[in-house]
Structure formats: structure tokens, C-alpha cells
């Protein structure tokens, strides 16, 4: 069994679930406090509905809402919702970039992930050995001018969505501040198990990812929507990227970050994901020259040992998400 350990099932899509069955792939759907997603309640209801029909095909991580943050019952309600989700089978709790990049206090200050108001939640997770998943900050490209961005997909995305292009929003705490706040949190809670989603937002340099993993031995990272950044670095630094996977083979989890909703027909979704999965697999397992749309340049596949690929696609997810 292989795992795509970072997807978002916002609707029941039996065609894609059956595609997973046919291809020996299980999914981890991650509930997220995102403004353009369905409500947290609706996301959970959708996943629980899927689990009843496809119990061996999907797991889920939950989250808590920042709506009402600072109110008198926000904390107790958040803890109750986390506890309820864990009893329903959640494998962890996610925090999203809205903490640090959009949430503000009553004085207009941005609220970071190391703010004292979140401490009881993280202490609860640590005390109960509940996994924390963190999407903290954004790719470093988010804070750069478009012309300086490294991968074509980021250039296209931030040109189309300037409201999320932090280069144009200097009032938001910068890239370094986002990661510093996350690291402060992890230092306060050394026994907290953590997954740094999207290569821990340090996708631009595997040395930075490795330093993060060295500093926090209870942390893992996933690859969701950041493989293209590795491919970009592979153009000039093949051995560096290869060595990263060899050195940290027990700390890396595969994920795609696909959002399953009604925006694509079943045929188009499956074709898109099949091509994506095949390209990723080729990059990891073969050492042939290849190109992808998200990267401007030609690079060589990593040709990783089978044992390493099996950990990235299977064993590490099993170990981490149990």
C-alpha cells in the first residue's frame, strides 16, 4: 500500500477513491481552517461519510477554528472539538498559515503560532501524544518579486492571486518571522510530534530542511506541492538532493496536496492525478532526464534505492500517522 498523505477531500468522489483502490493507494485527507474551503464541520462530515463507505481507503487529520479567537469560550470549544475528532478517528491536528498571516488581535497585531493563547492546545496535544501538522508560512517565493521566483507554478499562482503575494504586503510578518515562531513553539514542546507540511516551508534549500530535522528529532516533513522545488534544485545540484533523501529517508512523507471537489470532471481529475503520480514516481525511481511544466529546465531523476522510495511512499506515513 502506498500513501498520498496530503489530500483534501471536500466532496465524496468515488471515481478517485476507486482509482486509489485500483492503484494500491490510500489517502490522508487534511481538514483545514481555510476561507475558501467548506466549513470545518462540513469537511469533517464529508470525510466521515467517505470513511463509512471506504474504511480502508482514507484517514483524516482535523483542525480547530480561529473564528472567535480571543473570546471567552474559544479555547474550551477548540479543545472539545479536537477531543471529539480524535474519538472519531483523527490521526492528528493541523494548524494553517492563517495563524501568522491573517489572524489579528484587537489592536491589529498579527497573531503568531507561538502566541500564548495557543499554549493550552499544544500542551494538550503534547500531553496526549497527538500529532501536530503545521503549514506555517509560505514558500520563500511568496516574499520575492515574481521575476526572482524559482518555479513556474509559483510565478503563475502569485501573479493570478496578488492578494497572497507577500512581496506586496510588507505589513505581514515576513518569512523569517513565520519560521521563527514555529520553531519557538517546537522548542517549548520538545515531546510534541510534528509534521512540517510542504517541506516545512523551507523548500528552497534541502540544507535548510535538513537543519530543521536535525534540530527537532520528533519532526517529519511532507512533500506536498513542493516536489517541483526539489526538481528545480536538481538541475544544478543533483547529488545534494539525492543525498538529502538518503540522509533523511526516515523523515520524509509523500503527499500531493490535491483538492478533491467539483471543479474537475472525474475523467479530467483522474487523468491529471495519474500523470502527476507517474511523473513524481519517475523522478524518485529513475535516473533519466526529464522535464515538467512547473520547472523551467531539464533535470535528471534521482534513481533512489527501492528501500528509500518505499519509506517515502509508505513506511514513514504508517509510522507517523499510525
- Summarised one tens digit per residue, pLDDT across range 77-99 is 999 999 999 999 999 999 999 99
- Domain ranges, ordered by start, for the chain: 2-321
Q: What is the largest CA-CA distance in the chain?
A: 58
Under 8 Å between Cβ of 314 and 1: yes
CA distances from 64 to 78, 98, 304 (A): 6, 12, 38
Q: What is the separation, in whole angstroms, between the first and last Cα of the chain?
A: 14
pLDDT of residue 66: 97
Nearest-angstrom CA–CA distance, 43 and 286: 37
pLDDT of residue 120: 98
3-state secondary structure of 28: strand
User: For 228, which DSSP code?
Assistant: H
Radius of gyration in angstroms for the set of CA atoms belonging to the chain, rounded to a whole number: 19
Q: Over range 259-269, report the average pLDDT.
A: 96
pLDDT of residue 150: 98
Strand pairing partners for 299? 290
pLDDT of residue 135: 98
Q: Which three cell numbers stand for residue 94?
A: 493541523
pLDDT of residue 50: 98
Q: Read off the pTM.
A: 0.97
pLDDT of residue 263: 94
Handedness of CA 284, 321, 213, 232 (dihedral sign): positive
Under 8 Å between Cβ of 281 and 256: no
Nearest-angstrom CA–CA distance, 128 and 123: 8
Residues 6+ apart with CB under 8 A from 170: none
At 35, give phi and psi (nearest 5°): -65, -30
Under 8 Å between Cβ of 111 and 103: yes
Under 8 Å between Cβ of 47 and 63: no
**pLDDT one-digit tens code per residue, 164-222:** 999 999 999 999 999 999 999 999 999 999 999 999 999 999 999 999 999 999 999 99
Nearest-angstrom CA–CA distance, 168 and 93: 31
Strand pairing partners for 221? 196, 252
Residue 240 pLDDT class (50, 70, 90 cuts): very high
pLDDT of residue 122: 98
Residue 238, Cα to own-chain centre: how many angstroms?
24
Q: Which fold has domain 2-321?
A: TIM Barrel (3.20.20)
Amino acid at each position: 500500500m502506498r500513501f498520498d498523505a496530503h489530500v483534501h477531500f471536500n466532496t465524496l468522489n468515488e471515481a478517485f477513491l476507486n482509482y486509489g483502490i485500483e492503484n494500491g493507494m490510500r489517502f490522508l485527507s487534511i481538514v483545514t481552517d481555510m476561507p475558501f474551503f467548506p466549513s470545518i464541520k462540513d469537511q469533517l462530515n464529508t470525510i466521515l461519510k467517505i470513511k463509512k463507505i471506504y474504511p480502508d481507503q482514507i484517514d483524516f487529520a482535523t483542525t480547530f477554528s480561529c473564528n472567535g479567537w480571543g473570546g471567552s469560550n474559544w479555547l474550551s470549544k477548540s479543545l472539545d472539538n479536537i477531543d471529539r475528532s480524535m474519538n472519531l478517528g483523527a490521526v492528528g491536528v493541523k494548524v494553517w498559515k492563517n495563524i501568522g498571516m491573517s489572524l489579528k488581535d484587537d489592536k491589529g497585531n498579527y497573531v503568531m503560532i507561538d502566541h500564548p493563547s495557543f499554549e493550552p492546545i499544544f500542551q494538550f496535544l503534547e500531553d496526549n501524544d497527538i500529532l501536530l501538522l503545521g503549514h506555517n508560512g509560505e514558500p520563500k517565493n511568496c516574499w520575492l518579486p515574481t521575476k526572482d521566483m524559482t518555479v513556474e507554478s509559483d510565478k503563475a499562482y502569485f501573479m493570478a492571486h496578488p492578494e497572497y503575494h507577500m512581496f506586496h504586503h510588507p505589513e505581514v510578518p515576513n518569512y523569517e518571522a513565520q519560521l521563527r515562531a514555529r520553531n519557538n513553539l517546537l522548542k517549548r514542546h520538545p515531546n510534541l510530534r510534528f509534521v512540517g507540511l510542504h517541506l516545512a516551508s523551507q523548500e528552497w534549500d534541502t540544507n535548510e530542511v535538513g537543519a530543521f530535522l536535525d534540530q527537532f528529532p520528533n519532526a517529519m516533513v511532507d512533500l506536498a506541492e513542493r516536489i517541483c522545488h526539489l526538481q528545480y534544485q536538481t538541475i544544478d545540484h543533483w547529488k545534494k538532493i539525492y543525498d538529502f533523501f538518503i540522509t533523511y529517508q526516515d523523515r520524509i512523507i509523500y503527499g500531493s496536496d490535491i483538492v478533491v471537489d467539483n471543479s474537475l470532471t472525474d475523467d479530467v481529475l483522474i487523468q491529471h492525478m495519474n500523470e502527476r503520480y507517474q511523473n513524481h514516481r519517475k523522478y524518485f525511481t529513475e535516473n533519466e532526464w526529464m522535464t515538467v511544466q512547473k520547472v523551467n529546465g531539464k533535470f535528471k531523476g534521482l534513481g533512489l534505492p527501492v528501500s528509500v522510495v518505499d519509506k517515502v511512499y509508505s513506511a514513514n506515513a504508517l509510522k507517523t500517522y499510525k
